[in-house]
Homo-oligomer: A and B are copies of this chain.
Amino acid sequence: MAERRRWSEEFPRWFDWVLEAAGIYDWSHYPVKGMGVWLPYGFKIRRLVTDLIRRLLDETGHDEVLFPLLIPEHLMRKEAEHIKGFEAEVYWVTRGGIQELDVKLALRPTSETAITYMESFWIKSYKQLPAKYYQIVSIFRYETKATRPLIRLREVTTFKEAHTAHANFDDSERQVLEAIDVYKRFFDALGIPYLISRRPEWDKFAGAVYTIAFDTIMPDGRALQIGTVHNLGQNFSKAFDVKIQLPDETLDYIWQTSYGLSDRVIATIIAIHGDDRGLVLPPIVAPIQVVVVPIPAKSEEETRKVREYIDSIVEELREKGVRVYVDWRSDVTPGYKFYDWELRGVPVRLEVGPRDVKNRTVVVARRDTLEKKTVPRDQVISEVLHLLDDIGRNMREKAWKWFRSYVHRSESLDEARKLLEEKRGIVEVPWCGREECGKRMEELTDAKVLGSPLQPPEWVRGASCPVCGRPAATSLRLAKRY
Any chain B CB within 8 A of the CB of A370? Answer: no
- Report how far A70 CA is from B142 CA in the complex, Å: 12
- Shortest C-beta distance, A375 to chain B (Å), equals 31
- Residues of chain B lying within 8 A (CB to CB) of residue A406: none
Nearest CB of B to A82, in Å: 15
Write out the residue numbers on chain B whose beta carbons fall within 8 Å of the beta carbon of A74.
Answer: 31
On chain A, the number of residues with a Cβ less than 8 Å from chain B's Cβ atoms is 55
| A372 CB-CB contact with B under 8 Å | no
Is A91 on the interface with B (CB-CB < 8 A)?
yes
Residues in B with CB closer than 8 Å to A67 are 37-38
Q: How far apart are A118's CB and chain B's nearest CB, in angstroms? A: 6
Least distance between A121 CB and chain B CB atoms (Å): 5
- A43-62 at interface with B (beta carbon < 8 Å): 43-44, 46-47
Q: Is there an interface contact between B26 and A38, defined as CB atoms closer than 8 Å?
A: no
Q: Are B97 and A32 in contact (CB under 8 A)?
A: no
Cβ-defined contact, B38 with A66, below 8 A: yes
Shortest CB–CB separation between residue A219 and chain B, in angstroms? 26
Hey, what's the 0/1 contact readout for A77-107 against B, CB within 8 Å counting as 1? 0000000000111111111111100011101
Among A31, A63, A107, A133, the most chain B Cβ lie within 10 Å of the Cβ of A31
Given contacts A31-B75, A97-B144, contact A26 B118 (CB under 8 A): yes
Q: Give the contacting residue for A35; candidates B38, B70, B99, B133; CB below 8 A.
A: B70
A109-125 to B contact mask, C-beta < 8 Å, 1/0: 00000100110011000
Q: Which residues of B contact A16 (CB under 8 A)?
A: none
Partner pick for A68 among B32, B63, B64, B87, CB 8 A cutoff: B32
- Let me know if B40 and A64 touch, CB within 8 A: yes
Chain A residues touching B, majority SS: mixed
What B residues does A43 contact at CB under 8 A?
63-66
Task: Using A40-B64, A65-B43 as known contacts, say yes or no to A97 and B89 having CB atoms under 8 A apart.
Answer: yes
The winner among A29, A66, A98 for most chain B CB atoms within 10 A is A66
- Contact B38 A65, beta carbon cutoff 8 Å: yes
CB of A72 within 8 Å of the partner chain: yes
A144: chain B residues at CB < 8 Å are 97
CA distance A107 to B101 in the complex (A): 14
The answer to whether B91 touches A92, judged by C-beta atoms less than 8 angstroms apart, is: no
B93–A107 touching, CB < 8 Å? yes
Give chain B nearest CB distance to A48 CB in angstroms.
12
Interface check A30, CB cutoff 8 A: yes
Q: A303: CB under 8 A from chain B?
A: no
Residue of B nearest to A127 (CB): B331
Residues of B with C-beta under 8 A to A44:
64
How many Å lie between the Cα of A105 and that of B35 in the bound state?
A: 12
The answer, yes or no, to whether A39 is at the interface (CB within 8 Å) is: yes
Q: Point out which of A44, A64, A72, A89 has the most chain B C-beta atoms below 10 A from its C-beta.
A: A64
Which one, B30, B66, B96, B99, contacts A118 given CB within 8 A?
A: B30
Q: For the A-B complex with A37-B68, A93-B107 known, give 20 more contacts whose Cβ atoms are closer than 8 Å.
A: A26-B121, A30-B68, A31-B72, A31-B74, A38-B65, A38-B66, A38-B67, A40-B64, A40-B133, A43-B64, A44-B64, A68-B157, A69-B140, A69-B155, A70-B155, A90-B96, A92-B94, A94-B95, A95-B104, A99-B142
Q: Identify 11 residue pairs between A and B in the complex whose beta-carbon atoms are under 8 Å apart, listed by A's number.
A: A26-B121, A31-B72, A35-B70, A37-B67, A39-B65, A40-B65, A43-B63, A43-B65, A68-B157, A87-B97, A97-B144
Nearest 6 A/B pairs, CB to CB: A96-B142, A40-B63, A38-B66, A92-B95, A35-B68, A88-B97
